[in-house]
Amino acid sequence: MNYYNEIKNKLIDNEVYSRVKDYSKERHKVITYFEIGKLLNEAGGKYGDSIIEEYSKKLVIDVGKNYNRRTLFRMKKFYNVFNNEKVTTMLTQLTWSHYLLLLSISDYDEIIYYINISKNNNLTQRQLQEKIKSNEYKRIPIESRNKLNKNEILSPNDLIPNPVRIKNSNNYEYISEKTLQRLILEDISSFLKELGVGFTFIDNEYPIKFGNRYNYVDLLLYNIYVVVELKVTELKKEHTGQIMTYMNYIDKNIKTIEENDTVGIIICKQDNKYVIKYCSDDRIIAREYELV
């Protein structure tokens, strides 16, 4: 096989295709680069990696300056990373720019996670980059990762990362619950994205009345109704009792009969798995926070 001519012809075909079939050019590009990566891998095995340097010099002249040594090595790596059976069938679901971000990841389960959330949530390249940079996959609870690997049905709560990253834009050294709330409200859109997909903000200090006395929910969100309480200490058993009371109030007085039961999220300085383990309501979850 003349590897060079095969690679050159595929690249020329892709250049022509990208000008004519705009709606599917990214899909064609991804397939083409994967096939070229396979050819480069085979050629390298036969002639050594120096062949890529040789090919790149010719391709820059014959096809275009974009096909330099760096680009060819990326195509080869693309093939080597994504030729696993688990991900090959998913190749055309993202753009080449998305895949460039995933080349540094070696864990196939992590790759599949980012492919799926990018596809399902229509993430841009920049949005995907932010998630990878924040180590979102590694912050998802192990139990949730196991569910993902087994293709089990997940609830929105399963994908809330731990710790939850909160922007400390003012570089506060002392953090009180009010300060933590202020930081969240200053960039509420980032906080909602950090929690996952589909969360919307309803109100802060949301009033609920018990008899003649008012209590105030730190944050009330909606995906289903979600009560969020902020604690700058280690999680304690009385925190679960407090949030459970608020959840029950929302269930009985605000949510409709068609809506699912309210969920509670306690964002705290330090998790305590024993408190959650022996909590009587599995709708309550705890997540540590991390100031960034």
How is the chain split into domains, by residue range? 3-142, 155-291
* Tokens at 117, concatenated: 């959330």
Angle between helices 3-20 and 50-62 (to 10 degrees): 40
> How much of the chain, in percent, has pLDDT values that exceed 70?
98
Whole-model pTM? 0.80
SS3 233: coil
More confident residue, 115 or 23: 115
Angstrom distance (rounded) from CA 205 to CA 202: 10
SS3 60: helix
Q: What is the mean pLDDT of residues 98-106?
A: 92
Angstrom distance (rounded) from CA 144 to CA 131: 17
User: pLDDT tens across 4-60, in order?
Assistant: 888 888 888 888 777 765 657 788 889 999 999 999 999 988 888 899 999 999 999
- How far is it between the farthest Cα atoms of the chain? 85
- Which value, to the nearest 10 degrees, does the dihedral of the CA atoms of residues 247, 253, 254, 256 take? 100
Backbone angles phi, psi at 258, to 5 degrees: -80, -20
User: pLDDT tens across 243-276, in order?
Assistant: 999 999 999 999 998 888 999 999 999 988 888 8
Angstrom distance (rounded) from CA 180 to CA 267: 10
CATH of domain 155-291: 3.40.1350.10
> pLDDT value at position 22?
60
